[in-house]
Amino acid sequence: MSSLENKVAVITGGGSGLGEGIVRAFCKEGAQVAIIDNNVVSARQLADEITDSGGIAIALQADVGDESDVPKAFKQVMNTLGNPDILVNNAGIDTTSLLEDMSIELWDEMMRVNLRSMFLCTREVIQGMKEKNWGRIINFSSQLAHKGAPTMVHYCASKGGVLSFSRALAYELIEYGITVNSICPGPIETPLYMAIPEEWRQAKESSMPIGRPGRVDEVVPTVLLLASEKGSNYVGASMNMNGGDVMI
């Protein structure tokens, strides 16, 4: 039996980049996957490809930072696939600005998408996981939550909040067989990363021991571990695959 056989998984931001890699890996391991993404076109293309290959995947459009969108999307997941066993909060954004030049709109949008979304999405799955006495919640933070970075105060603050959110929630849910953990990757070669100004990317990569961004396939195995039964001893952990940028 594959490691995620008969599990229902929800991946936010699953239509491209790192999320797409996670979706493909989960389906390969037998999971039934719901892809929630603001870009429903790419999400549907991925879901159709998986379905045509014999897997089970659905695509739903939602703004994961929107309080009205999120419950509707998760209701569709539950009506179609059942209560989620696994939630991967992967959706996120990054932008750059010196703090003195930062608008309140830029700050608020970062918190809304990167942090508020985790609260909204996670709240939707807890009761169903409690009923099963089993669940996996995996939240994407960043190595910059540990290290910080110039022109990314808002991003670092949002990702630091993810770590604290995950640790506190881990205490609340472990008695129900539900684990909560964080993933803290360094730069990963995805469309999101490539949208950052090239000057920033070059400076970042030259400072890293590995000297390059990571690849999606270097992150996915850790996500699979945390999502599976073999990941049951990881509680409130932060998993750091970042090319040596932060050594913890």
20 is written with which tokens?
A: 């797409």
DSSP 57: E
H-assigned helices in the chain: 17-28, 40-52, 69-80, 104-111, 117-132, 144-147, 153-173, 191-194, 198-207, 216-227
87 is written with which tokens?
A: 């939630």
How many other CB atoms are found less than 10 A from the CB of residue 44? 18
CA distance 80 to 18: 24
Residue 195: what pLDDT? 80
Half-sphere exposure of 170 (CA within 13 A, CB side): 19
Domain boundaries, the chain: 8-239
193 noted as active-site residue: no
pLDDT digits (tens, 9 = 90+) for 2-58: 799 999 999 999 999 999 999 999 999 999 999 999 999 999 999 999 999 999 999
Check whether 1 has a pLDDT greater than 80.
Answer: no
Check whether 248 has a pLDDT greater than 90.
Answer: no
CA distance 15 to 42: 5
Residue 119 contacts by C-beta under 8 Å, 6 or more apart in sequence?
A: 165
pLDDT digits (tens, 9 = 90+) for 123-157: 999 999 999 999 999 999 999 999 999 999 999 99
- Of residues 17, 25, 14, 153, the one with CA closest to residue 96: 153
Residue 194: what pLDDT? 82
Q: Which of 94-98, 128-132, 213-217 has the highest mean pLDDT?
A: 128-132
Mean pLDDT of all residues in 157-183: 98
Quickly list DSSP for 175-221.
GGTEEEEEE----BSSHHHHTS-HHHHHHHHHHSTT-S-B-HHHHHH
Residue 25: what pLDDT? 97
50 is written with which tokens?
A: 């998986």
pLDDT digits (tens, 9 = 90+) for 224-240: 999 999 999 999 999 99
Residue 51: what pLDDT? 97
> Using an 8 Å Cβ cutoff, are 35 and 47 in contact?
yes
The reply to whether CATH 1.10.287.130 applies to domain 8-239 is no
Query: Which residue among 155, 171, 176, 234 is the active-site one?
Result: 155
Distance between the two ends of the chain, CA-based, in angstroms? 34
DSSP 143: T
> Using an 8 Å Cβ cutoff, are 214 and 195 in contact?
no
Check whether 86 has a pLDDT greater than 80.
Answer: yes
Query: What confidence tier does 69 reach under pLDDT thresholds 50, 70, 90?
Result: very high
